[in-house]
């Protein structure tokens, strides 16, 4: 036992040795390190050991999560991607923010626990995107800014709180990467987004159109956000695409209303057995250079892959297609993204949240300022 402790102590010292003076860890002890660390690209060399992801302590130009090569994944307080937590979006290019509600769900609850489980599962994420060679932590200042303080007893008050929180986030110039929470949250978020950017284009990935008018007498819920957005002029309707829609409907053409607004509707059947890369080339053309918001409901994916959600529909998209959609957003003027409807109680394996965490990482990798190798 004692020797285990000694070994741990030694490895801690080695790790701390790379931390710059001014932080609480001792400086020096660099000899062992210099043997292991490539000299090239010092500030950007994310292989350098670092236990503190904050820029101030690591000495790097941007926040960088500690690598699991040196810091155990299971250690620490779970923030998104093991990034530092800060209270406001001040100084950030992008921020992960949780909106833990399920008061707007119509069926299975549990999405209020989504942000927490996504954060826990995100400990598996590494710094680089091997598929696209994106290096988000070499060009973006990113942190986890915690959760919006919602009112779990009052959905309308929650919407107000979300709108106000996002006004503040957006006022700093930061791009929010939101972890839901049920899809109701897209409505107040888009109110704040449109206030800053004007009517935006929308890439909406979902099993459902979420354009109902009234459900059980209520205008606000997870089935109505995009109807409210259209009514309030928050969307540039010619620059809206809904991808993955499917399932039983209340009428033979459930998506008539969407099409009547000018939305492009890509039903799941059109996606079956296909790469969605060609579709995304068309979507990029549709979106042009104007501001775009990306809203990704995890139920767009087939429940075989993502069972932890409130209103699952069979015969959905694959995770590969989900990734293709997000990667296909590279080059767009993205001003905000969300990943919603992860309901941990319906997937005790954590895989739905893990998928959500990876999709959020992919979103960060297509933000306008992200560096690519």
- Does the protein bind Mn ion through residue 102 (CB under 5 A)? no
Nearest approach, Cβ of 269 to Mn ion (angstroms)? 18
Q: Rounded to the nearest whole angstrom, what is the least distance from the CB of residue 105 to Mn ion in the complex?
A: 10
What pairs with residue 309 in β-bridges? 342
Comparison of 65 and 312: residue with beta carbon closer to Mn ion: 312
Q: Which residues contact 32 (CB under 8 A, 6 or more apart)?
A: 14, 17
Q: Is residue 183 a contact point for Mn ion (CB under 5 A)?
A: yes
Of 60 and 183, the one with the shorter C-beta distance to Mn ion is 183
210 binds Mn ion (CB under 5 A): yes
Closer to Mn ion by Cβ: residue 206 or 236: 206
Instruction: Output the smallest distance, CB 183 to Mn ion, in A.
Output: 4
297 vs 324 by CB, closer to Mn ion: 297
Contact status, residue 92 vs residue 141, Cβ threshold 8 Å: yes
Residues 293-312 close enough to bind Mn ion by CB under 5 A: 297
* Contact flag: residue 206 with Mn ion (CB under 5 A): yes
**Cα–Cα nearest to 309, from 278, 271, 352:** 352
144 binds Mn ion (CB under 5 A): no
CA 253 from chain centre, in angstroms, equals 31
Specify the stretch interacting with Mn ion by CB under 5 A; choose among 127-135, 179-187, 240-248, 342-350. 179-187
Nearer to Mn ion, 183 or 327 (CB): 183
Cα dihedral angle (103, 245, 268, 124), rounded to 10 degrees?
-30
List the structure tokens of 31. Answer: 């000899």
Q: Judged by CB under 5 A, does residue 313 bind Mn ion?
A: no
Buried b (16+ CB within 10 A) or exposed e, 199-236: bbbbbbbbbbbbbbeeeeeeebbbbbbbbbbbeeebbb
Q: 121 or 206: whose CB is closer to Mn ion? A: 206
Q: Are 304 and 346 in contact (CB under 8 A)?
A: no
The interface region with Mn ion, picked from 91-99, 209-217, 280-288, 346-354 by CB under 5 A, is 209-217
Which span sits near Mn ion by CB under 5 A: 138-146, 238-246, 273-281, 291-299? Answer: 291-299
Strands of the chain, DSSP E: 94-99, 134-135, 142-147, 175-180, 200-205, 235-245, 264-267, 291-297, 333-340, 371-372
Residues near Mn ion (CB under 5 A): 183, 206, 210, 297
């Amino acid at each position: 036992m004692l020797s285990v402790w000694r070994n741990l102590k030694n490895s801690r010292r080695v790790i701390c040795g790379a931390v710059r003076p001014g932080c609480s860890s001792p400086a020096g002890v660099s000899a062992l390190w210099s043997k292991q660390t490539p000299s090239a690209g010092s500030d950007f060399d994310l292989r350098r050991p670092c236990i503190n992801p904050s820029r101030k302590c690591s000495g790097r130009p941007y926040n960088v999560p500690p690598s699991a090569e040196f810091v155990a994944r299971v250690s620490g307080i779970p923030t998104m991607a093991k990034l530092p937590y800060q209270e406001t979006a001040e100084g950030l290019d992008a921020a992960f923010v949780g909106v833990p509600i399920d008061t707007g769900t119509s069926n299975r609850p549990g999405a209020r626990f989504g942000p927490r489980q996504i954060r826990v599962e995100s400990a598996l994420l590494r710094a680089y995107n091997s598929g696209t060679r994106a290096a988000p932590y070499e060009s973006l200042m990113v942190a986890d800014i915690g959760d919006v303080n919602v009112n779990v007893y009052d959905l309308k008050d929650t919407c107000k709180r979300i709108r106000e929180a996002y006004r503040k986030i957006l006022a700093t110039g930061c791009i929010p990467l939101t972890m839901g929470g049920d899809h109701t949250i897209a409505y107040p978020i888009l109110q704040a987004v449109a206030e800053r950017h004007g009517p935006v284009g929308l890439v909406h990935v979902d099993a459902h159109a979420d354009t109902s008018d009234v459900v059980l007498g209520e205008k606000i819920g997870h089935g109505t956000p995009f109807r409210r957005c259209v009514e309030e002029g928050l969307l540039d309707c010619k620059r809206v695409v809904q991808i993955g829609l499917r399932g039983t409907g209340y009428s033979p053409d459930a998506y008539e209303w969407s099409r009547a607004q000018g939305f492009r509707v890509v039903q799941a059947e059109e996606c079956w057995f296909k790469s969605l890369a060609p579709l995304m080339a068309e979507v990029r053309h549709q979106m042009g250079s104007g501001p775009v918001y990306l809203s990704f409901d995890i139920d767009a994916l087939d429940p075989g892959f993502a069972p932890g959600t409130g209103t699952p529909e069979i015969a959905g998209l694959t995770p590969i297609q989900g990734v293709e959609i997000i990667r296909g957003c590279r080059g767009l003027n993205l001003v905000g993204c969300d990943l919603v409807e992860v309901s941990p109680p319906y997937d005790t394996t954590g895989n739905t949240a893990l998928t959500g965490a990876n999709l959020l990482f992919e979103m960060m990798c297509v933000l306008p300022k992200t560096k690519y190798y």
